[in-house]
A and B are shown apart, each in its own frame.
Chain A
Amino acid sequence: MSRRLSEGLVQEDGRVRCRACGHDLAQAGTPWKAAARLVERPMKGAGGKAYSAGAAVRLRQFCCPNCGALLDTETALAGDPFLDDVVGA
């Protein structure tokens, strides 16, 4: 039985999985971002010339480590904890 957690994530067999490839990211009801690939880059210029952000501002992209699907983004400064979203198991 598969259950929606977000656009890119589903819960199956008690696990948080990538919807696209089924990759196992975490136990259901726990944070999953630590298991994702983190692509972090300067926000400045990230979406084009209009992204005139300060030097310290980062765009974090959390991707499926198996298929590369982009699952979530965050605006952050270095050292900020992840915005860990948890959907009840």
Chain B
Amino acid sequence: MDPITFSIIRHRLFRVVEEAVITLKHVSGSAITNEGHDLMVSLYRADGSLLMGGVGFLHHLTSAAEACKAVIRRFSGRIEEGDVYLLNDPYTAALHTSDIYLIAPIHHEGRLVAWSACFVHVYDIGAMNPGGFSPESPDIYTEGFSSPGIRLVERGVLRQDVFDTLLNMVRSPEMVALDLRSMIACNNVAKDRMLALIHKYGVATVDEACAELIGQSERLLRKRLGELPDGTWRSRQFMDVKGEVHRVELAMTKAGDSLVFDFTGSSPQSRHAINCTQWASLGGLFAPLFPLLCYDITWNEGVIKPITMIAPEGTVVNCRRPAPVSVATVGAIQSVNNAACATIGKMLSASELYADEATAVWHANHFAIFMFGRNQRGGQSIGILTETFAGAGGARSFADGIDVGGEIPNPISRMANVETMEAAFPIRYLFRRRMIDSGGPGRHRGGAGCELAITPHDAPDGGLHYVVSGKGAEFPMSDGLNGGYPGAPNSYIWVHQDEAGGDNRDARFAKALDELPGRKEPVTWGVFPLMGKDALYVRWNGGGGYGDPLEREPARVAADVHANLVSAEAAQAVYGVVLQADGRVDEGATAERRKTLRRGRLLTEAAE
């Protein structure tokens, strides 16, 4: 194919996706879509295979491909120009019910030539708990509306009966209507632009370019895999829900130009909604794989071909119906993200050529707290604490992780301003800052996470409620690499200030958790009140560290202590760095301390 035309078509396909993303954000107008970038738009070929994946929540790229294929199977022979299909059943293709796919065929002169698909996390899906994550659900039946494929728009005309039926099952139907409309508009834009491209270059040329684009991605990834050493790398993730421990076990084997992800050994499926289906696991491993291994390769079907997944049925990574899955995206899927990031990091690190691409695990644990209740203007508010998107970077071979630097599977997220949150919800923040000792120690430190506390403010009902489906403070999840420590775990604490009793300390302007009087109760899972003078304290994880902390430049440790990112105690105990009273490194004492710590390692028994 003519490389000039190919170059132009490739760039234009990319713009088609970008423009559709902008439409989605514009029409939706919701905070989770616009701030969190919790969305995805991609183009698929006529057979449903991924053609061009956009930058969004990347674990959706392959699931939406499966959703296209499911619609093709179900509606075979009845797919018409102008149709739009809705699919959100996790056991068919979706990740969880609240991430609704809208899928639209693109016809040229009556012939099906491509598909566009998109998702947003809709405002509500009618599950037991508001907002989509439904920790109290015992099964899929209580996780809200779920469809394995239904025609929402027929030959360009909205099926009002279907639309109204859907809206009849959700909270805040007006907002969900807007979400659905945004996805219809997004698919329309993708279709218009795709057809303009076909009109200009001809259907045969565009088709050839698409096939070449997929072939090229496959060749490039296979070549890269060929350059990496063969081997098997393992990782393990723990998920703690109400004292029950679940694990995701991964052995990733690279041989020649292909890669196998084997999740054998992972826990049986849970009665809690952290499970995920096989399509979700596949998406979960591709989410880090695209940016870590294919940063310069177009994300499409060609990248998928060299990859195989083994996920035993009946486990947390391939659950059987009717296991609940509403928390999957921040449950098993995120653990699959983390496990894959860890093994890919190890593989890259084994290569002289690619060592500088290796990273410890970023932001491994979304806390995904949804608040709901009557706001200061008397209306109802439901919404996510967007800090869950703020994340923390894993440390790299050449630099520290980025403090509060986001996450790999969703490369362009952000969190809202405190002022935005205080205007939208009847709450007041006491503080929001980087958390000391949260970044995993290492020669390069993991990026710091944060801590925040909120308390009701001007709430007509005295406060509000929140849904938390976090995996809590039991296990750190952002693994370190090459000797780096994992980042510190999440923590959520309900501070019962109304019970503070005789304590006269003024808690209203507390600067830290320690200054908040009252009983402190860790919460991780379920629906809780935030009322009266009570406060909710949230701490989110740091990124994993890289390399031996005893090799970190002492001056950097001193700078971290000075910046309140590392405590003086951790500097001594973990980094072996002793500081003088003026905060500068005590060189002599540090050398001595590091020698002692290293000798201490030798005094222990051999591993076996």
Contacts and interface: CB of A to CB of B under 8 A. Distances in A.
Interface of A: 3-8, 33-40, 43, 46-54, 57, 59, 61-63, 65-77, 80, 82-88
Given A4-B351, A72-B483, A51 B598 contact: no
A58 to B, nearest CB: 11
A62 B480 CA distance: 13
A20 B412 CA distance: 38
26 contacts: A5-B229, A6-B346, A7-B355, A7-B546, A8-B482, A8-B483, A35-B606, A38-B604, A39-B600, A47-B488, A48-B566, A50-B488, A50-B542, A52-B491, A53-B476, A57-B476, A68-B598, A70-B483, A71-B482, A73-B480, A74-B236, A77-B245, A83-B236, A86-B231, A88-B230, A88-B255
Given A4-B350, A73-B485, A85-B232, A37 B607 contact: yes
Contacts of B566: 48
A7 B348 CA distance: 10
Contacts of B605: 37-38
A7 to B, nearest CB: 4
Contacts of A76: 236
A85 B232 CA distance: 6
Contacts, number: 164
Interface residues of B, number: 62
B234 A83 contact: yes
Contact of A85 (B233, B489, B567, B601): B233
Interface stretch (B20-28, B110-118, B437-445): B437-445
B607 A33 contact: yes
Given A50-B435, A86-B231, 11 more contacts: A3-B352, A34-B608, A37-B601, A69-B598, A70-B601, A75-B475, A75-B486, A82-B607, A84-B234, A85-B346, A88-B229
B549 to A, nearest CB: 7
Interface of B: 229-236, 238, 240, 245, 255, 346, 349-352, 355, 397, 435-438, 440-441, 473-476, 479-486, 488-489, 491, 539, 542, 546-550, 566-567, 569-570, 574, 598-602, 604-608
7 nearest CB pairs, A to B? A48-B437, A88-B230, A7-B482, A68-B598, A50-B488, A38-B607, A48-B570
B364 to A, nearest CB: 11
B603 to A, nearest CB: 9
A6 B488 CA distance: 24
Contacts of A43: 475-476
A55 B491 CA distance: 15
A68 to B, nearest CB: 4
Nearest to A32: B607
Contacts of B231: 85-88
B520 to A, nearest CB: 12
Nearest to B349: A6
Nearest to B608: A34
Contacts of B485: 46-47, 59, 73
Nearest to A80: B236
Contact of A57 (B235, B436, B475): B475
B270 to A, nearest CB: 17
Contacts of A73: 479-480, 483-486
B550 A70 contact: yes
A43, A51, A71, A76 pick with most chain B CB within 10 angstroms: A51
